[in-house]
Structure 1
Amino acid sequence: MMMDEEGEDEEEEEEPEAAPPSPSIFSPELRAVMQVWNNYKAMKKRRQAMGCGGADTGPGDQKQAEEAQKRRKKRRSRVLFPSDGRKFMPKQKERSRAKPFLFLFSIIVFLQVYNAIENLDDHVLKYDLEGLEKTLGREVFGQQRAVETLMEHLQDYLSTYSHQRPLALSVHGPSGVGKSHLGRLLARHFRSVVGDQLVIQYFTAHSCPPDEDEGVCAAELVAQVVAATTVAEEDDRIPLVVLDEAQLMPAAMLDALLDLLKPDQSNELLNVVYVLLSNLGHEDITRHVLHNSSSSSSSSSSFFSKGQEMEMEEALRSSLAEKQHPLWGEVEALVALLLLEKSHVVECFLEEMMREGFYPERAHVEQLAAEMAYYSAGGRQYSQHGCKQVVARVNSL
């Protein structure tokens, strides 16, 4: 038995002292991470122990904890400033190449606009509209508002040469208020600034009498307009066509004029100013003046508001277009010459007598004016025949 136990002990002693280490299931990187984590937990435990000041800590550990605490305080109170050196310098802003071109483009546009404005002024200066306005204001009595309206349309149209359609102005008024005189002043002024070839002054009663064929009259008028516009096209000027006594024009002539006012025609026929003078609608104008007369105003041309003038113009336009001819529905503006007051008749007498070489006294002139026939409305006196009989009365003196 003893032999058996000894044999067993020898067998146990003969067993290998240590088995070779088996390969780990963790990779080296993972083991390194685990080791770092274990070190961190151990360090954390030591710091907690040092902070609590436990009895199991030795003098050396307490000293180390105090030094570590001082280092932390010193590190916390330290102020850090940014270093002067920069690893990455910011890129310099690139200058836009479009800015010089935009600046140059702005200068070009400004110069073109300025040049266009200067050209407009130069074009208007050819016609001396300022001198025309002074002449009309001085020689056409009692029609201040009508003259202003006429000049506004001429100023707008003559400020440029190229147009989409001609300018047609129709002047209406009772007998003796200055329609024919206005036409003569316009023709005289334009002859002085653009020449005789570019001004047509057409008197219907003389150029197309009742026994004349109206088709021939229409063809002759169109031929005159074409000849004037052809010359005007070469000189870059705008001709003037004054059509007096338009109420006597036959239907064929009115149709021809309506065709000339259409925009679909040759370029030279688009740059024309037509002024039609007639007494059509004079009953409406007389009725309107007498109905709206006011003794509070000092001038017959000033007691109409803008709304009243537009109302009268639209009523006159629709009436003429419906009862007379569609031509009056296509004109740019209808300008109404109003009734003349007694003071205007006195001015007519003075002007005519001075022209004939008389040096009249004021009392004599007022006596002559008082012999004329007048309408009475709103504390005013309006001449029934305007200044039409003034010339005959002065010639009889």
Structure 2
Amino acid sequence: MNPEKRHVLLLWMLVCSGMTEAIEPISTSIAVGMAAALTGFLASYQNIFYYFNECCRPEWISFNKTGFEVDLESKLFGQHIASRVILKAVNGFMRDDNPKKPLVLSLHGPSGTGKNFVSKLIAAHIYKKGMDSSYVHVLTSELHFPLQSQFETYKTQLQQWIKGNVTNCERSMFIFDEMDKMHPGLIDSIKPYLGYHNNLDGVSYRKAIFIFLSNAGGKSITQTALDFWKAGRDREEIKLNDLETGLSSSVFNSNSGLGHSGLITKNLVDFFVPFLPLEYRHVVQCVMAEMKAKGLHPDQKVADKVAKDLLYFPKSEKVFSVSGCKTICTRYHNYI
């Protein structure tokens, strides 16, 4: 805040606090007159603090559809299904000023295929502070819910935590990482918050976003991708309906956080989003993008060396990267 605005604000606080009674009568008259004259001026700055401190307002929470679409196209590799589904889902939800329920996305696939990365992109294009926003919350199963013996306590804490954060900001986003390692049944404790309710105990959850990240279902996704490859078909020919039914069934029958979950039986998950295993060419693209993000000139030779250094499966064909793009940020430095 510049000195002029600070001076005016302090004067206004002085007048409004009643401290003018301690000033000489003539000074009081001048101060009150100045305050009256400055009322209109100060009114234009009534929201000035909102520009310096994050709050649950459009200045801090506003969806950038164009930027999100560009980043999905230029930074997420080998995931034509996930890109299309997530863009449509997030765009439709954020455009709706009165959604009927929270947006619930369940992202599935092998490690290193982009699930965490997409979550960060969503946050970056909704919240001005991205993942650093006080309205973006990340829970990791092994860190936050490690003990089976504390199962009932976790349920209560999770309910209270969700309710408290949504009460604070209806546009809150919750990311549940490692859902495949969560105790089965725990996530059902928040089932009421994901349904079609105007409000629950005076709190509306309809503008919140819930994202589940899991490796569960990764085997069925990989098998479908491998079947297409063996049949000589391009991976871009794989459609959502080739995967969705098998994916939801696989996840439901798994021993994971969504195993036999009411979120699935009650159709509260809006989209099961499959992330395909990455091929050599996608790893190369990841390395090139990482170098660019670090301010380096992308080097095709370096990218090829990094990609060749990774493990691929099946052993005979070596089609898909075992770790996807997960370890490239620590590897490419060795080749520069």
Q: Give TM-score scaled by structure 1 length.
A: 0.59
Q: 1:227 aligns with which of 144, 164, 173?
A: 164
**CA distance in 2 between partners of 1:130 and 1:380 (Å):** 36
Report matched runs for 1:334-349 at 5 Å. 334-349=272-287
Q: Which residue of 1 aligns with 2:210?
A: 274
Q: Quick check: 205-214 or 141-150, which moved more?
A: 205-214
Residue 127 of structure 1 aligns to a residue in which SS? coil
Q: In the alignment, what sits opposite 2:49? A: none
Instruction: Tell me the amino acid that sits aligned with residue 131 of structure 1.
Output: G
- Aligned pairs (5 A) from 1:100-249: 126-192=62-128, 196-210=133-147, 213-233=150-170, 238-249=171-182
Once the two structures are TM-superposed, the CA of residue 319 in structure 1 deviates from its matched residue by: 2.7
Counterpart of 2:52 in structure 1 is: none
Distance apart, 1:226 and its partner CA = 1.5
| Residues 54-93 of structure 1: pairs in structure 2 closer than 5 A | none
Q: Which residue among 370, 373, 394 is the counterpart of 2:311? A: 373
* Alignment partners' CA distance in 2, 1:271 and 1:226: 13
- Over 3 Å counting, the alpha-carbon distance change for 1:127 and 1:368 in structure 2 is closer
* Correspondence list, 1:5-16, <5 A: none
1:201 & 1:164 partners in 2: Cα distance?
24
The residue number in structure 1 matching 2:29 is none
Distance 1:217 1:277 in 2: 19
Q: Report deviation, 1:193.
A: 7.3
Contact 2:278 2:321 in 1 (8 A): yes
- Aligned AA (2:181): L
AA paired with 2:219?
E
Does structure 1 retain, via aligned residues, the 8 Å contact 2:103–2:209?
Answer: yes
Aligned length: 264
Structure 2 SS opposite 1:334: strand
Q: 1:161 to 1:219 in 2, by over 3 A?
A: farther
Alignment partner, residue 303 of structure 1: 237
Instruction: Give the helix-richer structure, 1 or 2.
Output: 1
Distance 1:211 1:394 in 2: 39
Question: Residue 211 of structure 1: CA displacement?
Answer: 6.9
Match of 2:24 in 1: none
What letter is aligned with 2:281? S
CA contact (8 A) 2:82 2:273 kept: yes
Query: What residue in structure 2 maps to residue 328 of structure 1?
Result: 264
SS in 2 for 1:277: strand
SS at match of 2:319: strand
Q: 1:208 to 1:382 in 2, by over 3 A?
A: same
SS of structure 1 residue aligned to 2:326: coil
Structure-2 change in CA distance of 1:208 and 1:396 (3 Å)? farther
Counterpart secondary structure, 1:363:
helix
Which residue pairs with 1:313 in the alignment? 244
Is the alpha carbon distance of 1:163 and 1:291 closer, same or farther for their aligned partners in structure 2, counting shifts above 3 Å? same
> Per the alignment, do residues 362 and 160 of structure 1 end up closer, same or farther by CA in structure 2, a change over 3 Å counting?
closer
Q: How much has 1:296 moved relative to structure 2?
A: 5.5
Post-superposition offset of 1:354? 4.2
Amino acid at match of 2:154: C
Q: Secondary structure at the match of 2:237?
A: coil
Shift of 1:253: 2.5
Asked which structure has the greater RCO (Cα within 8 Å, sep 6+), the reply is 2
2:111 partner SS? coil
Structure 2 gap segments, 5+ residues each: 1-57
User: What is residue 292 of structure 1 aligned with on the other side?
Assistant: 228
Decide whether aligned partners of structure 1 residues 273 and 373 sit closer, same or farther in structure 2, where only a CA change above 3 A counts. Answer: same
State the shift of 1:310 in Å: 1.2
Residues 214 and 252 in structure 1, CA contact (< 8 A), matched pair in contact too: no
In 2, the alpha carbon distance for the partners of 1:263 and 1:364 equals 51
CA distance in 1, matches of 2:149, 2:117: 26
- The unaligned stretches of length 5 or more in structure 1 are 1-121
Secondary structure of 2:313's counterpart equals: strand
Q: Would the aligned equivalents of 2:303 and 2:332 in 1 still touch at CA under 8 Å?
A: no
| 2:90 aligned partner, one-letter code | L
What is the root-mean-square deviation in Å for CA atoms of aligned residues?
3.0
